[in-house]
Amino acid sequence: MIVRIGLSSCGIAAGGLPVRDALAAEIGQQGLGWELRQTGCMGMCHLEPLVDVIHEDGSINTYGNVTVDVAREIVAAEVNGTALEKYRIATEREPNDCLTGQVRVALRNCGSIDPESIQDYIDAGGYQALDKALTDMTPEQVIEEIRISGLRGRGGAGFPTWFKWNATRQEPDETKYLICNADEGDPGAFMDRSLLEGDPHAVLEGMTIAGYAIGARSGIIYARAEYPLAIKRLGKAIEQAQARGLLGDNLVGSGFCFDISIKQGAGAFVCGEETALIASLEGERGMPRLKPPFPSQKGYWDKPSNINNVETFANVPWIIARGGPAYAAMGTEDSKGTKVFALAGRIKRGGLVEVPMGMTLRDIIFGPGGGIKGDKKFKAVQLGGPSGGCIPESLLDTPVGYQSIKDTGAIMGSGGMVVMDETTCMVELARYFLNFTQDESCGKCVPCRIGTKRMLEIMERLCAGEGKAGDIELLEMLGRQIMDGSLCGLGNSAPNPVLTTIKYFRDEYEAHIFDRKCPAKQCKALITYHIEADKCKGCTLCAKKCPVNCISGEAKQVHVIDQNLCTKCGTCLEVCPSKWSAVSVS
Amino acid sequence: MSCCCQAEEKITIENVSTEAQLSGLEDLINRFGGLEGSLISVLQGIQEVYGYLPRPVLEYISERLGIKKARIYGVATFYAQFRLTPVGKHLILLCQGTACHVNGADKIEAALCDELRVEMGGTTSDRLFTLNAAACLGCCSLAPVMMIDGQAYGPLTPDKARNVIRFIYKQEAESRQEEVGA
């Protein structure tokens, strides 16, 4: 028997480590001789910590929300040959609902192999694609296979991968670099983290194949410092690959030499832009440079450099092993293959899903995503992080694809999907994103540096209930000017959240400006909390919990909120028992 | 009349460093000294050794590595990771990501500020905790999330967040008592 526990950052945050220790202790004390393994993120983050029990006959019981006590109960049940039904969320025959409609290419090994074991990866078919590329294929054939697959950059811009590889290959310079962009800066996106933590060898293998295709000897992974576990596992994976001769000199006897090193980013969103990333790799402030020359011509240390995203590389071994046509068979006309999305926000089942391109947003959110938390009403989904936009319910049947998403005003981005319900104020949300991009603007281009600041001031005014007629038009004008007048992707897309929310939720902006009301009841300056006298039973709960002690009233008497002291934190609304619902917001 | 700045005693690298820190610094210089483009790695190394980037150390590095002070300062202030002031023993990173934002990170912030009696970015008077904001910790499905010393906690409620802090305070008190007892 094998007991497997998910220990990615999400599993650990949910309490996976004590569960692992409890399992180990229980297995040891009872002398069961079961093997305890760790694995990466299975994608069902809302059910973490997750534990799989794999029986001798290959059948699997998967348990979710496992605590230390539950872990002991699981062992007790499994010893008797039964399952702990209450916590069992899936078996090998009946997969969890989250997996409906998913096709796992990039995430093929996440949640099944031990990310710290190269042998596990090899047993799962790993490094066969590298062997095939180096022994049976020329670099040109590798590029051709990727062209046939239709793979496009998964980091955001969606540039055809083969085209970049080919352009770098064509450069006459002897020294070339291959760079992996693992600076996943989009707040709300965690595909790359899960991949690096759950299957680091897939990324290394993809990079090595790419290195062979473009003619580079040296690969660099630019990873976020905020992902300590990913960096640790990557480092371990690199050492293992070196020890096996899968990185280093003369790989699999082909004469091809390639090695990979890790460089830690230091926290700057703009470094997701490739020229800024290169500046940062060179130890400078991460400021974008003018293109052309493109990185494929003059990149890292002015040498031809190819930069791809983590997920793009993770797809490469699968494509080489199974052929480009197999990958191109999935997806739509302009967007082939599968895409990983990170579902988060007001959604029931947050986590990672990988679906074929062309699936509709509705099918993703209400299929694997399980719909909206607390069965509230869906309002919008934000795609592409601070560079993307909000898509309203009327466009939920949009299929995911580079062009179809772009047509809505949002972008596919790296795959962050943050779902909003009726309690999210779209004006405040746009302010939040703008606050982020304004803060992260590197300051090189005036329209971006000063324009985003001016836009933010207007947004703050709107949320504070001080909006003026003409503000919406001013935001639209500024937004267009910033997009036209900035050098890099950050400035080109920073106004997107504001512009798309104006496009689809203009009535909310108008309510803030002309009615001085926040329809979602989120903007503190525009709302007041009241205790309704006919409903209040005087249970004193709100008065006890109020952090500023602004609620007065004796037990069994009607309570009153002192509006002058109220900070509008909403605690009273939350704690008031639902059978009375005496607190109202207006 | 003399220049006022002469009256101030210059803080040297020896004033801010222990023996172990000095040797850690020397290791860094040996490792990255000749490597072009390694300024960020050097600064990350210094921050690991000192917990922040002390000014005398930056001046020393400038001389030893032949990198202009202005360039070092420029890089140190550009990236969110670098701190120019000391931090507490435990660094709390409160996630400000989109998922955390729509799931009520502001209430967690209010609770933490109240529990620790500091503002965002501040350090407690006993130097045990520093509360910082992080753009996104990538644990979005557990929103709202915070990370303390590399360990993520979520999904948080204001009370859960307070309890984590109280638990660490308790641990600290116990380990101090043990020291006294020993």
Distance CA A275, CA B43 (A): 21
Measured in angstroms, the CA of A184 and the nearest CA of chain B are apart by 9
Facing B134 at nearest CB: one of A226, A228, A571: A226
Facing A14 at nearest CB: one of B93, B114, B142: B142
> Position of tokens 């919008």?
A380
User: Are residues B75 and A45, on separate chains, in Cβ contact within 8 Å?
Assistant: no
**Confidence band (pLDDT; 50, 70, 90) for B8?**
low
A414-464 confidence digits (pLDDT tens): 899 999 999 899 999 999 999 999 999 999 999 999 999 999 999 999 999
Three-state secondary structure readout of A246-259: CCECCHHHCCCCEE
- Between strands A259-264 and A51-54, the pairing is unpaired
Facing A346 at nearest CB: one of B97, B102, B142: B102
- Between strands A551-552 and B129-134, the pairing is unpaired
User: Are residues A185 and B153, on separate chains, in Cβ contact within 8 Å?
Assistant: no
Q: Let me know if A355 is exposed, middle or buried by CB neighbors in 10 A (0-12, 13-18, 19+).
A: buried
Contacts of B137 in chain A (CB under 8 A): 9, 226
Contacts of B41 in chain A (CB under 8 A): 263-264, 283
Facing A281 at nearest CB: one of B37, B97, B101: B37
Angle, helix A191-198 to helix A228-243, in steps of 10 degrees: 40
> What pairs with residue B92 in β-bridges?
B131, B148
A375: left (phi over 0), alpha (psi -120 to 50) or beta: left
Full DSSP string of B5-59: HHHSPPPPHHHH--HHHHHHHHHHHHHHTT-TT-HHHHHHHHHHHHSS--HHHHH
Cβ B89 vs Cβ B169: under 8 Å: no
Distance CA A541, CA A534 (A): 17
User: Are residues B99 and A418, on separate chains, in Cβ contact within 8 Å?
Assistant: yes
Distance CA A558, CA A145 (A): 73
Measured in angstroms, the CA of A106 and the nearest CA of chain B are apart by 18
Q: Would you tell me how many other CB atoms lie within 10 Å of the CB of residue A26? A: 21
Q: What pLDDT, on the 0 to 100 scale, is given for residue A92?
A: 86
Averaged confidence pLDDT in chain B: 89
Facing B98 at nearest CB: one of A45, A282, A345: A345
Distance between terminal CA atoms of chain A? Answer: 58
Alpha carbon of B125 to those of A205, B116, B128: distances in Å?
49, 9, 8
- The pair of three-digit structure tokens given for residue A240, joined into one six-digit string: 């293992």
| Among A571, A551, A585, A15, CA closest to B114 | A571
**Among B136, B137, B157, B159, which would you mutate to test the A interface (most chain A Cβ atoms within 10 Å of its Cβ)?**
B136
The amino acid that residue A568 corresponds to is K
> What pairs with residue B123 in β-bridges?
B130
Contacts of B75 in chain A (CB under 8 A): 283-285
Alpha carbon of A176 to those of A181, A215, A216, A258, A313: distances in Å?
16, 7, 5, 11, 17
Q: What is the pTM of this model?
A: 0.92
| Among A347, A342, A2, A10, CA closest to A189 | A342
Facing A269 at nearest CB: one of B93, B135, B143: B135
**Confidence band (pLDDT; 50, 70, 90) for B150?**
confident
- The pair of three-digit structure tokens given for residue A1, joined into one six-digit string: 């028997």
Cis peptide upstream of residue B155 (ω within 30 degrees of 0): yes
Q: What pLDDT, on the 0 to 100 scale, is given for residue B3?
A: 54
**Among B61, B67, B141, which would you mutate to test the A interface (most chain A Cβ atoms within 10 Å of its Cβ)?**
B141
The amino acid that residue B94 corresponds to is L
Cβ A399 vs Cβ A489: under 8 Å: no
Counts for chain B of helices (H) and strands (E), in that order: 9, 4
- Between strands A218-223 and A259-264, the pairing is parallel
**Long-range CB contact pairs, A236-241, < 8 A, 24+:** A236/A116, A236/A200, A237/A115, A237/A116, A237/A118, A237/A200, A237/A201, A237/A204, A238/A204, A238/A262, A240/A118, A240/A201, A241/A118, A241/A201, A241/A204
Distance CA A160, CA A13 (A): 36
User: Are residues A282 and B37, on separate chains, in Cβ contact within 8 Å?
Assistant: yes
Counts for chain A of helices (H) and strands (E), in that order: 22, 18
Contacts of A310 in chain B (CB under 8 A): none
Facing A9 at nearest CB: one of B78, B114, B139: B139
Contacts of A13 in chain B (CB under 8 A): 139, 142, 145, 151-154
Full DSSP string of A445-466: SHHHHHHHHHHHHHHHHHHTT-
Full DSSP string of A282-334: TTS------SSSPTTTS-GGGS-EEEEEHHHHHHHHHHHHH-HHHHHTSB-SS
Burial letters A314-348, b for 16+ CB under 10 A, else e? bbbbbbbbeebeebbebbbeebbbbbbbbbbbbbb
Q: CA nearest A443 in B: which residue?
A: B78
Could you tell me the strand order of the sheet in which A416-421 lies?
A351-356, A338-345, A416-421, A378-383, A389-392
ipTM of this model? 0.89
| Among B75, B182, B164, B89, CA closest to B127 | B89
**Among B46, B71, B72, B98, which would you mutate to test the A interface (most chain A Cβ atoms within 10 Å of its Cβ)?**
B98
Q: What pLDDT, on the 0 to 100 scale, is given for residue B163?
A: 95
Distance CA A103, CA A107 (A): 9
> Position of tokens 């999330």?
B145
Distance CA A281, CA A285 (A): 9
Measured in angstroms, the CA of B12 and the nearest CA of chain A are apart by 26
Cβ A147 vs Cβ A324: under 8 Å: yes
**Confidence band (pLDDT; 50, 70, 90) for B6?**
low
Q: What pLDDT, on the 0 to 100 scale, is given for residue B5?
A: 52
User: Are residues A343 and B154, on separate chains, in Cβ contact within 8 Å?
Assistant: no
Helix (H, G, I), strand (E, B) or coil at A278: helix
Distance CA A306, CA A325 (A): 24
Q: CA nearest A442 in B: which residue?
A: B78
Distance CA A392, CA A395 (A): 6
Full DSSP string of B43-54: HHHHHHHHSS--
Sign for the pseudo-dihedral over CA of A213, A218, A224, A230: positive
User: Are residues B140 and A350, on separate chains, in Cβ contact within 8 Å?
Assistant: yes
B24-40 confidence digits (pLDDT tens): 999 999 998 888 889 99
Contacts of A14 in chain B (CB under 8 A): 142, 154
- Write out the H or E segment, with its range, that includes residue A391: strand A389-392
| Among A302, A351, A438, CA closest to A99 | A351
One digit per residue, pLDDT tens: chain A, 586 residues?
999 999 988 888 888 999 999 999 999 999 999 999 999 988 888 898 999 999 999 999 999 999 999 999 999 999 999 999 999 999 988 888 888 889 999 999 999 999 999 999 999 999 999 999 999 999 999 999 999 999 999 988 899 999 999 999 999 999 999 999 999 888 888 899 999 999 999 999 999 999 999 999 999 999 998 888 999 999 999 999 999 999 999 998 999 999 999 999 998 999 999 999 999 999 999 999 999 999 999 999 999 999 999 999 999 999 999 999 999 999 999 999 999 999 988 999 988 999 999 999 999 999 999 999 988 999 999 998 888 999 999 999 999 999 999 999 999 888 999 999 998 999 999 999 999 999 999 999 999 999 999 999 999 999 999 999 999 999 999 999 999 999 999 999 999 999 999 999 999 999 999 999 999 999 999 999 999 999 999 999 999 988 889 999 999 999 999 999 998 888 899 889 988 899 999 8
Facing B81 at nearest CB: one of A266, A281, A433: A266
Contacts of B142 in chain A (CB under 8 A): 10, 13-14, 45, 48, 350
Contacts of A436 in chain B (CB under 8 A): 96, 135
- Between strands A305-309 and A389-392, the pairing is unpaired
Distance CA A54, CA A32 (A): 14
User: Are residues B107 and A266, on separate chains, in Cβ contact within 8 Å?
Assistant: no
Sign for the pseudo-dihedral over CA of B74, B77, B79, B83: positive
CB pairs below 8 Å between A and B: how many? 149
The amino acid that residue B106 corresponds to is D
Q: What pLDDT, on the 0 to 100 scale, is given for residue B38?
A: 92
Q: Which residues, 6 or more positions from B34, have their beta carbon under 8 angstroms from its beta carbon?
A: none
Measured in angstroms, the CA of A97 and the nearest CA of chain B are apart by 17
Distance CA A406, CA A387 (A): 12
**Among B78, B112, B149, B156, which would you mutate to test the A interface (most chain A Cβ atoms within 10 Å of its Cβ)?**
B78
Which residues of B lie closer than 8 Å to A, measured between beta carbons? 36-41, 43-44, 74-75, 78-82, 93, 96-103, 107, 110, 114, 134-143, 145, 150-154
